[in-house]
Amino acid sequence: MLLTEADHAAFDAGWLEAWEDLKAGAASGGKSVTAADIESMLISAIENTNLPPKMKGTMAWRIQQELYGELGLTKASIIIKAKPIP
């Protein structure tokens, strides 16, 4: 699904910072990042755009299809393992 440049920028603004926070948390020995975290982060970014509700629903569905169908992940799949704390 193609978005306008403005819509794509709005979507990206919603998840890029959250992604950096998740990575930093895992790197500092915090919580591992799971597929459920990625799903939640991306769907939250979708919900915070001005896209029409049907498009938001389609995008959320597509993300779930990619994560759990095409990639074969489960919600508990570890995407980034937390760094062990010595």
Tokens standing for residue 80: 């980034």
Kindly report the average pLDDT of the chain as a whole number: 92
Put simply, whether the predicted model's pTM sits higher than 0.85 gets the answer yes
How far apart (Å, rounded) are the C-alpha atoms in residues 27 and 86?
13
Going by pLDDT thresholds of 50, 70 and 90, the confidence category of residue 29 is: confident
The answer to whether the beta carbons of residues 82 and 29 sit under 8 Å apart is: yes
Cα separation, 86 vs 78, in Å, equals 20
Place of tokens 């393992």: 81
**Band of pLDDT at residue 83, cut at 50, 70 and 90:** confident
